DNA sequence: TATTATCTTGAACAGTCGCTCAAGTCCAGT
DNA sequence: ACTGGACTTGAGCGACTGTTCAAGATAATA
């Protein structure tokens, strides 16, 4: 039975914060040791390598995103849930989240085939989120809130692309741009 | 009376390729030495530091982008030029450019305040490109190709955001997604 | 309390990082 | 051909990288 003296989930959470802020390469194991308050031996016993730990933080991040989306979907109609999720993702208050970027998109941007497994994992998780989008779009169509002629997968692609663009753009402009207006423009084509 | 034995522009070009592909942190000075075929002493005499060289590659990249846009604008109506520029930027054949991402967006995604000057420079260059977009939008309005009610700056923001999203999304899906369709969707709201 | 199994520690490893500088190479002017 | 000055070279600097492992600390069982 696991009798670890440190909470694994809590460790992953702290590591996620740091990796999300600084990216994979700019985060050193010594940074991590300080932040998660564990010495190398423990980290390597738990996660095997820097890559192993990073992979778990990616999954942790994606999971948290899916849960946020599900929470919106539980209380709002599908389209409203999607818009609320995207708005919340993009316009999170400065400082409340480690980076203005989506951690998965940031990872895909940063890594190359030198870290093929991590790159593939980030792509896979993005696809998972997109699938969740597509399911909500389908639900919206069944409820009559959206034209049935549109292919759900294509709409989901469009939304995912928009979300990536909005977050990247928001970061590039220090959030000074009129993000709300951009989101409205983006959703206009769905109305 | 520059009598340098190596062409400075050519050096910057090669460095741009490498930085664009691997990003700032993952590119080591030893990688650079091999690719641009210069020893440390020469590099530091010419560029001062890794940061100094990177800064020049950012400017080189932005300049090349502006020139591409100008070339389209010289032979096509403004809106067509914009769409052509974006299409070309996003759907460049795999392998022809070092990364599927925009180098400036990639840099903004990667860097933090630990490299404040480089981060600021990348943001500034993105803004420069956006201004060029806005000028073309204004021209389109003067020629009657676009509703005058729209604020050019807002349209330019929207386009910049779309471009960032398209490139990031294209990278995340290995170009397997129907990018053409996404571009059409993006431009649809301007028609 | 003694024993055992598990978890944690931190010094140390080989390798790489960005960078410097004395020595060497090259070429223009005489 | 020779000299003077600009340019290039590459060994090597101190600091830092991801990682290992023998030794120590801790909790559970007897």
- How many Å does it take to go from CA B92 to C1' C27? 44
A residues 80-109 near B, CB within 8 Å?
A: 101, 104-106, 108-109
Judge whether B78 lies within some domain: yes
Asked whether B15 and B53 are in contact (CB, 8 A), the reply is yes
Q: Report d(CA A92, CA A98) in Å as an integer.
A: 10
Binary contact (B114, A26; C-beta < 8 A): yes
Asked whether A9 and A63 are in contact (CB, 8 A), the reply is no
The partner residue sitting opposite B161, judged by closest CB among A101, A157, A166, is: A166
Asked whether A136 and A73 are in contact (CB, 8 A), the reply is yes
Whether the per-residue pLDDT at B190 is higher than 90: the answer is no
Whether the per-residue pLDDT at A2 is higher than 90: the answer is no
Strand C contact at CB of residue B116, distance < 7 A: no
Whether the per-residue pLDDT at A45 is higher than 70: the answer is yes
The candidate with the shortest Cα–Cα distance to B86, out of B16, B18, B184, is B184
B27/A94: higher pLDDT: B27
Binary contact (B112, A189; C-beta < 8 A): no
pLDDT band at A184 (very low <50, low <70, confident <90, very high): confident
Judge whether A149 lies within some domain: yes
Asked if the ipTM is above 0.90, the reply is yes
Judge whether A165 lies within some domain: yes
Q: Report d(CA B149, CA A99) in Å as an integer.
A: 35
Judge whether B149 lies within some domain: yes
- How many Å does it take to go from CA B160 to C1' D17? 37
Q: Report d(CA A161, CA B46) in Å as an integer.
A: 40
Q: Give the structural domain span for A72.
A: 58-188
Q: Read off the CATH number of the domain in which B178 is found.
A: 1.10.357
The count of structural domains within chain A is 1
Judge whether A21 lies within some domain: no
The partner residue sitting opposite B105, judged by closest CB among A123, A158, A168, is: A168
Strand C contact at CB of residue B128, distance < 7 A: no
pLDDT digits (tens, 9 = 90+) for A60-70: 999 999 999 99
Judge whether A167 lies within some domain: yes
Angle made by CA atoms B72, B76, B82, in degrees to the nearest 5: 55
Per-residue pLDDT, A191: 65
Judge whether B7 lies within some domain: no
Q: Report d(CA A120, CA A59) in Å as an integer.
A: 12
Per-residue pLDDT, B3: 61
pLDDT digits (tens, 9 = 90+) for B153-165: 999 999 999 999 9
Judge whether B38 lies within some domain: no
pLDDT digits (tens, 9 = 90+) for A85-144: 999 999 887 778 888 899 999 999 999 999 999 999 999 999 999 999 999 999 999 999
Per-residue pLDDT, B1: 46
């Amino acid at each position: 039975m696991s009798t670890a003296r440190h909470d694994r989930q809590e460790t992953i959470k702290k590591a996620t914060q740091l990796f999300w802020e600084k990216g994979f390469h700019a985060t050193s194991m010594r940074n991590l040791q300080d932040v998660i308050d564990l010495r190398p031996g423990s980290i390597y016993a738990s996660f095997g390598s820097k890559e192993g730990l990073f992979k778990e933080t990616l999954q942790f991040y994606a999971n948290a995103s899916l849960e946020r989306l599900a929470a919106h979907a539980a209380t709002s109609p599908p389209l409203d849930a999607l818009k609320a999720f995207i708005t919340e993702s993009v316009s999170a208050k400065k400082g409340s989240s480690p980076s203005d970027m989506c951690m998965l998109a940031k990872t895909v941007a940063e890594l190359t085939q030198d870290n093929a497994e991590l790159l593939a994992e980030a792509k896979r998780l993005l696809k998972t989120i997109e699938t969740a989008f597509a399911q909500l779009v389908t639900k919206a169509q069944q409820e009559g809130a959206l034209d049935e002629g549109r292919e759900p997968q294509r709409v989901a692609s469009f939304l995912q692309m928009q979300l990536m663009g909005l977050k990247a753009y928001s970061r590039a402009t220090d959030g000074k741009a009129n993000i709300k207006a951009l989101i409205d423009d983006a959703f206009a084509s769905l109305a």
